[in-house]
Amino acid sequence: MEKIELKDAFAEFKNQKNIDRATMMGVLEDVFRTQITKTYGSADNFDIIVNVDKGDCEIYWNREVVEEVEDPNTQIALEDLEDDDYEIGETFAQKIELKDFGRRGILNIRQNLQGRIMDIEKANLYNKYVGKIGEIFTGEVYQTWSKEVLILDEDGNELRLPKHEQIPGEHFKKNDTVRAIIKSVEMKNNTTPYIVLSRTTPEFLEKLFEQEVPEIYDGLITIKKVVRVPGERAKVAVESYDERIDPIGACIGVKGSRIIGIVRELRNENIDVLQWTSNTQLLIQRALNPAKISSIVLGGEEDKIKVYMLPDEVKKGIGKGGCNIRLAGMLVGKEIEVWRELPDDVDADEEEDVLLSEFDDVIEGWIIEKLQGIGCDTAKSVLALSAEDIAKRADLEDETVEEILDILRAEFEDDEE
């Protein structure tokens, strides 16, 4: 390796890799000491002087001047010295040229230097992004695949947005600008850090609110909890310690001016903003709004919460595909079941009905639970729906639904007889 080549290598690493001077000098010295040890057996008696700016590296081999050599690595015979100024017991410093390492040794130095610099780059990239986990990142799409999208930052570093971290139904193309939250940074098999982005986490929605609502950013309004079904619906519970500030109005903005940008960013995901309370029953009422709740029973079997509603309110409380009731349960941290309640003007005797739980000997328990999950807790509430509606909402096979309906119809036919 010619000196000019070494100088060019130094310049490349120093200027393009953004490595500080002290680290660069330490790496270079360590690389040369490693090669010296391989070539001479030990590097303890070698001095290495690195000048990164000039691209120079001077190496001196220090040996004791002796009359008879016992260890060639640490001693040199007086008679072998051309300089007559040395005496027995003094130290002779011999300058080592790069060519003294041989062609293979020079290649090892360059390869080791490249490897160490790459390791430093990986560590710097890892440390840069691991400290930003939970922050919003904005980048440009470089390439799209079926399972993930590759996004580049301003330095050309690669970040990944996996398919399962994308909002259902959204598609990206090259050069699109993407906003997402930095979810995780992993080192896999000593490769370049694998940086994962996400657009589906509750934290992403929370950060969007911080960007759009100054009162949240300033700490005047606190986001207590965020729950989402990405692409469908989300609930954001907020609280203000200043009575003069309306937390819901501040988050929505005049005529929805603040929340509309967030909704568009999330591909028209419906966002419900509600005021937080530590009162579980009140929180459930707010979470299930606009459905009107007749009564709430906390605790009970498996610590589930039972919510009773009039038949006309059940559909609104459960929501499309059970999304609303599921989010409400996530918000309070417990599973919520919706039960139908008869109106006051209906005589219970006239309404002769049977709880689905009474059919546990002929209908499997998991099927009953699915039916209860869509607000059907009695036989007649199931029979009031079409087979197609039951199959779709409860996610049951058509044949299973028909069998259930036959069982329930038989119950009332027997009563009539």
Query: What are the chain's domains?
Result: 3-125 (3.30.1480), 138-200 (2.40.50.140), 352-417 (1.10.150)
Model confidence over 277-327: pLDDT tens digits? 999 999 999 999 888 998 888 875 567 888 888 877 888 888 877 889 999
pLDDT for res 315: 81
Angle at 273 between CA 272 and CA 279, to 5 degrees: 110
Gap between the Cα atoms of 134 and 140, Å rounded: 19
Residue 156 confidence (pLDDT) above 60: yes
Query: Which residue spans within 158-201 are E strands per DSSP?
Result: 158-162, 177-186, 194-198
SS3 of 414, please?
helix
CB 238 within 8 A of CB 212: no
Both tokens assigned to 216: 């949240």
Model confidence over 342-391: pLDDT tens digits? 555 544 444 467 778 778 888 888 888 888 878 787 788 888 888 888 88
Strands 136-144 and 91-96: unpaired
Residue 54 confidence (pLDDT) above 70: no
Gap between the Cα atoms of 182 and 199, Å rounded: 9
Residue 12 confidence (pLDDT) above 70: no
What is the strand order of the sheet 305-309 is part of? 295-297, 305-309, 336-340
Model confidence over 203-229: pLDDT tens digits? 999 999 999 999 999 999 999 999 999
| Threshold 0.85, pTM exceeds | no
Both tokens assigned to 306: 């039972």
Nearest alpha carbon to residue 41 among 61, 56, 57: 61
Nearest alpha carbon to residue 31 among 13, 53, 15, 54: 13
pLDDT for res 251: 95
What amino acid occupies position 68? E
Strands 233-240 and 221-229: antiparallel
Gap between the Cα atoms of 396 and 372, Å rounded: 13
Q: Residues of the chain with pLDDT > 90: what percent? A: 44
